[in-house]
Amino acid sequence: MKKYGAEFFGTFWLVLGGCGSAVLAAAFPNVGIGLLGVALAFGLTVVTMAYAIGHISGCHLNPAVSVGLWAGGRFSASQLLPYIVAQVLGGIAAGGILYLIASGKAGFDVSAGFASNGYGAHSPGGYSLAAALVCEVVMTMMFLIIILGATDKRAPQGFAPIAIGLALTLIHLISIPVTNTSVNPARSTGVALFVGDWAVAQLWLFWVAPILGAVLGAMVYRFLGSPEK
Residues 156-169 have pLDDT tens digits of 888 999 999 999 99
In this structure, of 28-32, 78-82, 89-93, 131-135, the range with the lowest mean pLDDT score is 28-32
User: Which of 99, 131, 100, 103 has the alpha carbon at shortest distance from 116?
Assistant: 99
User: Which of 188, 146, 193 has the alpha carbon at shortest distance from 165?
Assistant: 146
**170 lies in a domain?**
yes
How many distinct structural domains can be found in the chain? 1
In angstroms, the CA 41 to CA 38 distance is 5
Average pLDDT for 96-100: 95
Give residue-wise pLDDT tens across range 3-22. 999 999 999 999 999 999 99
157-173 in b/e burial notation, b at 16+ Cβ within 10 A? Answer: eeebbebbbbbbbbbbb
**25 lies in a domain?**
yes
**61 lies in a domain?**
yes
> What is the model's pTM?
0.91
**34 lies in a domain?**
yes
Q: Count of CB atoms within 10 A of residue 199's CB?
A: 24
228 pLDDT above the threshold of 70: no
**136 lies in a domain?**
yes
pLDDT at 25 (0 to 100): 87
Decide if 95 contacts 16 (C-beta within 8 A): no
Q: What CATH number corresponds to the domain at position 27?
A: 1.20.1080.10
**229 lies in a domain?**
no
**41 lies in a domain?**
yes
pLDDT at 113 (0 to 100): 79
Q: Count of CB atoms within 10 A of residue 225's CB?
A: 14
| Segments forming the whole domain that contains residue 163 | 2-224
Q: How far is CA 172 from CA 6, 39, 83, in A?
A: 24, 5, 24
Q: Count of CB atoms within 10 A of residue 184's CB?
A: 32
**12 lies in a domain?**
yes
Report which DSSP code applies to 23: I
In angstroms, the CA 139 to CA 181 distance is 9
